[in-house]
Amino acid sequence: MPEVGFREWLAIGRAITDGHLMRYAGKAHLTSRFERELGEAIGTRHVLTVNSGTSALIAALAAAGIGPGDEVLVPAYTWMATAAAPIHVGAVPVLVDINETLTIDPEDILRKITPHTRAIMPVHMVNAPCDMEAIMSIAREHGLVVIEDACQAVGVRYRNSYCGTIGDLGAFSFNRMKNMNIGEGGAVLTNDEGYFIRARSFHDLGATMRGHLDNLSVPSFVGMNLKSNEIEGAMLRVQLKKLFPQMRRMQERRAMLAGILSESAGFRVTPHNDPDTAVSLSIIAPTREEAIALTKRRGIHNRLLDSSKHVYTNWEPILAKRTFHPKMNPWDWAKREINYTADMCQRTLDILERTCVVTLGLQYPAPLMRMVARKLVS
Ligand SMILES: Cc1ncc(COP(=O)(O)O)c(C=O)c1O
């Protein structure tokens, strides 16, 4: 993630001096300018800044009209927010296995589609893009909405597009772990004007006085307050300037390290859905024991299985189908009984217990990381 420093501090100072902290107040313009700049940079017509990636996912689902009785396909390996978001609009998540790319497996999507499936939420995990070509083709064939969770893949490319801009809607997170970091924040992306207008109205409580629904021929509907503010807009404009240079450095570093690791028979780099633009690097060991041994070595992160709420077996309230109020329970509104068990996505668990992310070490000079990688394979 890029550091937050002096340039952000200056930008915040200017925003305060402007005197408009609320994005829809007076002459406030920083958040709107950021939305235009991000849209132009990644090639999407509409960007709506919100207060988190989770909010972006919920607003995207609401915009697409997903609700009670609907099933939404989500991967079994993702931050719990992806599976929680459908629940907040009254739908239920249906878990889909990943494959070795660490992203949702198109073949398992086909197995999990039922007459009640309305949407797929592919998640570009750890900066690794999903197989969007296969996913879009399945979605078109079955009439499903695609909401890309690109919270972990801001600025990541898939073929000639950016993650988050390929499906019907996309979601970014700008929390402190992400490629653009303002502490907390997010954005909804779409090329569809109707979805954009609905998302914008939803994120501002359904407030009609700001003209959010002016171009839409539907009555206003109740939303939530998921708005961002001008301080965030100011920081995001600075972070956007840092994004692409950082992604280029990640791509170079990844190519260098993957090259060294592939020289050794002992390491298998996980397959990638667009190796030419890859910015993430993981290795998959033949056995669980070998993966555990790998984590003791410098430059290797924990096994993905040990990444807490990114693994479905740790989504305790979802597995238990527990909501804040027993009568607001989407599983009661589903068209069939949906249950979850700890062993239901065994293939995902098998991959996660053998896979470790390799650090790109952007904070260190390239020759040092080359040395670390050479030591790993020696
Ligand atoms: C894959 C994924 N989806 C959704 C989210 C939710 O983003 P936020 O923390 O900004 O709400 C995250 C954040 O960690 C994430 O990694």
State yes or no: pLDDT of 137 exceeds 90.
Answer: yes
- C-alpha span between 317 and 319 (Å, rounded): 6
Mutation choice for ligand 1 from 1, 121, 175, CB with most ligand atoms inside 8 A: 175
Considering the chain, tell me which residue range(s) the CATH 3.40.640.10 domain(s) occupy.
6-240
C-alpha to C-alpha distance for 366 and 372, rounded to whole angstroms: 10
Give the mutation target among 152, 203, 232, 304 for probing the ligand 1 site: most ligand atoms within 8 A of CB: 152
Residues with CB under 6 A from ligand 1: 52-54, 78-79, 81-82, 123, 149, 151-152, 173, 175, 186
Note the pLDDT of residue 26.
83
pLDDT in tens, 7-37: 999 999 999 998 889 999 888 899 999 999 9
Of 37, 38, 32, 82, residue with least CA distance to 57: 82
Q: Round to whole Å and give the CA distance between 203 and 190.
A: 15
> CATH 3.90.1150.10 region(s) of the chain?
244-308+345-377
- Single pTM value for the model: 0.97
Q: Class of the 244-308+345-377 domain?
A: alpha beta
Residue nearest to atom 7 of ligand 1 (CA): 53
Handedness of CA 365, 371, 372, 377 (dihedral sign): positive
Pick from 214-218, 351-355, 362-366: least confident: 214-218
Residue 152 CA to ligand 1 center (angstroms) comes to: 7
Burial of 369 (0-12, 13-18, 19+ CB in 10 A): buried
Q: Give distance in angstroms: CA of 260 to centre of ligand 1.
A: 31
Tell me, in angstroms, the distance from the centre of ligand 1 to residue 54's CA.
6
Among the listed ranges 65-79, 327-341, 363-377, which one has the minimum average pLDDT value?
Answer: 363-377
Render pLDDT for 257-306 as a digit per residue (tens, 0 to 9): 999 988 876 789 999 999 999 999 999 999 999 999 989 888 888 899 99
Ligand 1 atom index nearest CA of 52: 10
Q: Which CATH number fits domain 6-240: 2.60.120.960, 3.10.310.30, 3.40.50.10860, 3.40.640.10?
A: 3.40.640.10
218, pLDDT greater than 80: no
User: DSSP assignment, residue 195?
Assistant: H
Ligand 1 geometric centre to CA of 215 (Å): 31
